[in-house]
Amino acid sequence: MESRIIVCSLGRTGYQIFSLLRQQGIPVIGIHDQPLSFADPDVIVGDLKATPTLMAAGIEQAHTLVIASSDDALNLAILMQARVLNPHIRVINRLFNTSLGDRLDHTLTHHVSLSVAALAAPVFAFAALGSRAIGQLRLFNQTWPIHEEYIDEYHPWQGRKLSELWDERSRMLIYYLPADKRMDLVSAVIRGQVLQVGDRLIIGSQPNASVQAVRRSWRQRGTKLVNNLRQFQRYGQSMVVVTLVLLVTILIATLTYVCFNRHTSIIDALYFSVGMITGAGGEEQVIEQAPNSIKVFTALMMLLGAGVIGICYALLNDFVLGTRFRQFWDTVQVPAHHHYIVCGLGGVGIQIVQHLRSCGYDVVAIEQDANCRFLSIARALKVPVILGDASLPTTLKAANLAHASALLAVTSNDTANLEIALTAKGLTPKSTAIVRYQDPTFARMAHQVFGFEAVLSPTELVAPTFAAAALGGRILGNGMTGHSLWVALSTLITAGHPFCHRVVKDAAMDADFVPLYLETGQRRVHGWDLLNTYLKAGDVLYLTMPATHLDQLCSVPAPEMSEMMVH
């Protein structure tokens, strides 16, 4: 049995990848450790890492292996066994441990590691920021949100020419679906096609996070200083009270001794009072001839002074030598407004936190597990973490939900996520709720029934990326338009490349791809200049195209294809 692609482990994510590849007409074989609920001749059942199972799936003749299990250890075992049987097979490996994945990518040839959490998190973050993102695109060291523009009669682009939108550097036109006829985007741009009602455009928008990050950074520092001063003020109140009690005690003692013996100077009485109360001693002759009542008073002052001094020392030590001084500078307070609440610090949650913080936004995390492995990462990012149940109103109020920009319920439990979002809507009906739901079908139903701003399935978000990576090339982004998968990738133009020695616009119209930009020599070419550029060996072309047309790139001879993939 020969197949071009094998998908190993048909769980929720694996089966989505398997179905998507087959939907695009790609020859694919699945491997699962248990029988599916329905018979499928293209699925092999058996031990995922066993040689007989892999051989039955045609591992020796396969071009690519997609390992989609959620268990990193199992995925590594499958990887090693597959490479023993076929040393040259290309492997797309699902790994939660991104640092391990990076090491494997640098160590092994034709190995691409992908993390479901890392791929899905930016889309959740974009949804919380108000973008109707359907995917992401990695360009110019930035993550661009991808969204679909549907042209209706009220859309501002209705009646505009596509050519007017082509040369905008902060916006990438990725794909075009006209309502009444089949036409590729480049042809539509060159011919001056006018956008009509029913047309759809896939757009990538450049984030402006750098400016926002600088502004928010200064605002965060000022807010932190004010909050810390307020906390210090509350803590300092107890210090002031204890100090006043100590001073009043010394004053009472000093006046008592001066009144008892008018021959005692105020300085001597003060010196004795301070020494007596602090335990240091000195000027004992002040009370050597005193009556018993004064001696009893002195004894009481000693006891009172010992208690006051003890409390004063304890507060001072706690502030200077304990945690209070560090908290004064390093404590992270719950923001007053315009922050994002992330409920659940699992793999997806911590990635969302990191993405939002990298964009300069305030974040509050809520996590029920005090032993969560990602707590230290969140705190290192200066993110306040509330340990508690996010479905409880008191916990959400502690996170200042009423003034938050959005709440993201992204725990690993779908029911818990729904409960958290419903509780948030009950407390603050106008709050924005982004909900994680594993099953794509039920995610769409939950969005329709409960009216949350977005209900996203990580499986549905990342499956196109895995499928696109399985088809080859350096994948920069991907998405679904209707039932069609499109991918964004970079390809190195070599002497044997099918696009070499051709003008970009001609190659684009023939192969139905959309050029994004070109790296040639030391410069980047965009817009209209890009369409008229002559491609030569050594150029790197960044483009989007339907996954079903990727075989045009795969027709490059093997050595050149290798260069294209690893670029």
Model confidence over 137-167: pLDDT tens digits?
777 777 787 878 889 988 999 999 988 888 7
pLDDT attached to residue 232: 58
Task: Write the DSSP assignment of 27-88 as a string of letters.
Answer: -EEEEESS--SS--TTEEES-TT-HHHHHHTTTTT-SEEEE--S-HHHHHHHHHHHHHH-TT
Residues forming beta bridges with residue 303, ordered by sequence position: none
Q: Is 90's pLDDT higher than 70?
A: yes
Nearest-angstrom CA–CA distance, 182 and 509: 12
The pLDDT of residue 344 is above 90: yes
Instruction: Kindly report the average pLDDT of the chain as a whole number.
Output: 82
pLDDT, tens digit (0-9, with 9 covering 90-100), for 16-70: 999 888 887 888 999 999 998 888 889 999 999 999 999 999 999 998 999 999 9
294-322 per-position pLDDT tens digit: 777 777 877 887 777 778 777 777 665 55
Instruction: Kindly calculate the radius of gyration of the chain based on its CA atoms and give it in whole angstroms.
Output: 34
Could you tell me if 365 and 396 are in contact, meaning their C-beta atoms sit under 8 angstroms apart?
no
Q: How is residue 201 written in tokens?
A: 């455009």
**Contacts (Cβ under 8 Å, ≥6 apart) of 274:** 250, 280
Q: Residues 337-367, buried b or exposed e (16+ Cβ, 10 A)?
A: eebbbbbbbbbbbbbbbbbbbebbbbbbbbb
Query: How far is the C-alpha of 103 from the C-alpha of 81, rounded, in Å?
Result: 19
pTM of the predicted model as reported, rounded to 2 decimal places:
0.68
